[in-house]
Amino acid sequence: RNIQTTLSRIENFNSIPAMVKRLQEALTSTPESLMVVYLSTQSLETWRDELIAEVKGSSRRSSISSPGETGYTRSPEVYNKIIDVLGDHFDIVLQLSQQVRQSVTKQICSCFDLSVDNPALLVRAVEVMMLIEDNEVKKYNQLSDVMKENLPNLSHAFEQEVIVSMRQSFDARIQDRYVQCMLQSADEGKTGIEATITAATKGMLDLA
């Protein structure tokens, strides 16, 4: 039964490259599909993790291990061969996950424009970010105490990355607008402190 389950998962996994390609195209051509793409990506990641767990479990059961032993006594090659065969599939799922995160970051960093042009898209990006964070917390809490001691806690790490990117985007936006306003002040014949104050004032009003 376990072998049949594993083979079924492997067979279904063969359809993943085409599925990932469709999701990537949707994410690029239709930003509004972010939530749908994210949920589909989560399903693929769960599928991948369950397959890996099943392969590991089959390898353990096929080995002769001492009580408490976690290694593969007789058949580590079974696990390694399957992982080698499906490695490319695992990679493209990871790439899709990273692309979803990049899209979330990009949309949230465009908050100034989206808040006016497409607030629903901005809200959806924040929702996906929160779902990603919740999933990371859940994964960390499911780890054993030993693994928690040896692995970094990635809870809220993605949120912090988004915040840093927002700050950088905000700083760049201010700088660009300030330069534009300084050039405009120069065209109007203003110089020195007058030009600086005028440019700063206009820039802040435009960003408000």
At 141-163, the pLDDT tens digits run 887 888 788 887 777 889 999 99
CA 145 remoteness from chain centre = 26
- Predicted pLDDT of residue 70: 45
| Contact (CB, 8 A) for 206 and 177 | yes
Q: Decide: helix, strand or coil at residue 204.
A: helix
- Residue that the structure tokens 């930003």 belong to: 31
- Helix 119-141 vs helix 34-61: crossing angle, to nearest 10: 20
Please choose, from the candidates 76, 79, 73, the residue with its C-alpha nearest in 3D space to the C-alpha of residue 6: 79
Read off the tokens for 207. 């960003």
Tell me, yes or no, if the pTM score tops 0.95.
no
User: How many Cα atoms occupy the beta-carbon half-sphere of 149 within 13 Å?
Assistant: 3
Residue 95 has pLDDT above 90, yes or no: yes
Burial label for 45, CB within 10 Å (0-12, 13-18, 19+), is middle
pLDDT, tens digit, for every residue of 29-71?
A: 999 999 999 999 999 988 888 777 776 665 444 444 444 444 4
- Helix 157-187 vs helix 76-109: crossing angle, to nearest 10: 30
| Contact (CB, 8 A) for 39 and 111 | no
Query: Which letter, b or e, does each residue of 173-198 get, where b requires 16 or more Cβ atoms within 10 Å of its Cβ?
Result: beeebbeebbeebeeeebeeeebeeb
DSSP 8-state assignment for residue 30: -
User: How many Cα atoms occupy the beta-carbon half-sphere of 167 within 13 Å?
Assistant: 5
- Mean pLDDT of the region 83-111: 88
C-alpha span between 174 and 166 (Å, rounded): 12
**Which range is least confidently modeled, 21-30, 41-50, 74-83?**
74-83
- Among 69-78, 112-121, 195-204, name the most confident range: 112-121
C-alpha span between 125 and 118 (Å, rounded): 11
